[in-house]
Amino acid sequence: QVQLVESGGGVVQPGRSLRLSCAASGFTFSSYAMHWVRQAPGKGLEWVAVISYDGTNKYYADSVKGRFTISRENSNNTLDLQMHSLRPDDTSVYYCARRAPGAAGYDYWGQGTLVTVSS
Amino acid sequence: DIQMTQSPSTLSASVGDRVTITCRASQSVTNWLAWYQQKPGKAPKLLIYKASSLESGVPSRFSGSGSGTEFTLTISSLQPDDFATYYCQQYNFYSSIFGQGTKVEIK
């Protein structure tokens, strides 16, 4: 069965960096675009970034552009999000999600990993 | 930038009620519109994609309609498991915007 498992969250001081990972299994990872979506405590969902199936195309929300980098390693079935210059308003649960075939929304999500930016 | 506005923000309903949630886009998104259900502490679950297509395994009491700028999610007969928060999502390959969410509460 399809599984997405995020890791790497934790407490980090403002201005520091953190790297999140998402381990994928149960499907042909190299065939799917992948996304990061975040959710601040008690708030709604915010799309963060997308990477194409082969890693050649990457797009970001304006709120993270220039600070976050999405990447993937298809040989290891892993998706990463490198986060720099973290701010308190980056505090969120970060989810990785698979883009369904035929542009049919995001059909599988991980359980999320909490990033808290605080001094 | 496209904005997605959901209404209402909160909805109180009883088991068996017909429930409708509206999502309006600030400009046409054709039919690139999805609906998700989220329960506390859980990841979102895809219900509807391409505005009106039911995701596999989702009960048929859920339906979606609309195109362009106005969309609706309808739950034909609310069940106890349906009390949750619902989000609409405009998506294309290079970006996505979520609505602010609609919390469906027990009346």
3 state SS of A88 = helix
CA angle A21, A11, B39 (to 5 degrees): 70
Q: Which is more confidently placed, A102 or B49?
A: B49
Q: Distance of alpha carbon B52 from its chain centroid, rounded?
A: 11
DSSP-assigned states of every residue in B20-87: EEEEEESS--TT-EEEEEE-TTS--EEEEETTTEEPTT--TTEEEEEETTEEEEEESS--GGG-SEEE
The residue of B96, B97, B98 whose CB has the most chain A CBs within 10 angstroms, and thus the best one to mutate to test that interface, is B96
The token pair at A12 is: 């980090």
The rounded percent of chain B whose pLDDT value lies above 90 is: 93
B55 lies within 8 A of chain A by CB: yes
B45 interaction partners in chain A (CB closer than 8 Å): 109
The rounded percent of chain A whose pLDDT value lies above 70 is: 100
Return the CA Rg of chain A.
13
The number of beta carbons lying within 10 Å of the beta carbon of residue A81 is: 25
User: Residue B61, class by beta-carbon neighbours within 10 Å (0-12 exposed, 13-18 middle, 19+ buried)?
Assistant: middle
In the structure, what pLDDT confidence band is assigned to residue A102 with cuts at 50, 70 and 90?
confident
The number of beta carbons lying within 10 Å of the beta carbon of residue A65 is: 10
In the structure, what pLDDT confidence band is assigned to residue A103 with cuts at 50, 70 and 90?
confident
pLDDT tens across B19-60, in order?
999 999 999 998 999 999 999 999 999 999 999 999 999 999
The chain-wide mean pLDDT, for chain B, equals 96
pLDDT tens across A20-60, in order?
999 999 999 999 999 999 999 999 999 999 999 999 999 99
Provide the pLDDT for residue B93: 84
Query: Which residue shows structure tokens 């046409």?
Result: B28
Please give the residue of chain A at the shortest CA–CA distance from B52. A104
The answer to whether B87 contacts A44, with C-beta atoms less than 8 Å apart, is yes
Provide the pLDDT for residue A104: 81
Q: What mean pLDDT do residues A4-9 have?
A: 98
pLDDT tens across A74-97, in order?
999 999 999 999 999 999 999 999
Residue A101 has pLDDT above 90, yes or no: no
Provide the pLDDT for residue A8: 98
Alpha-carbon distance A2 to B70, whole Å? 33
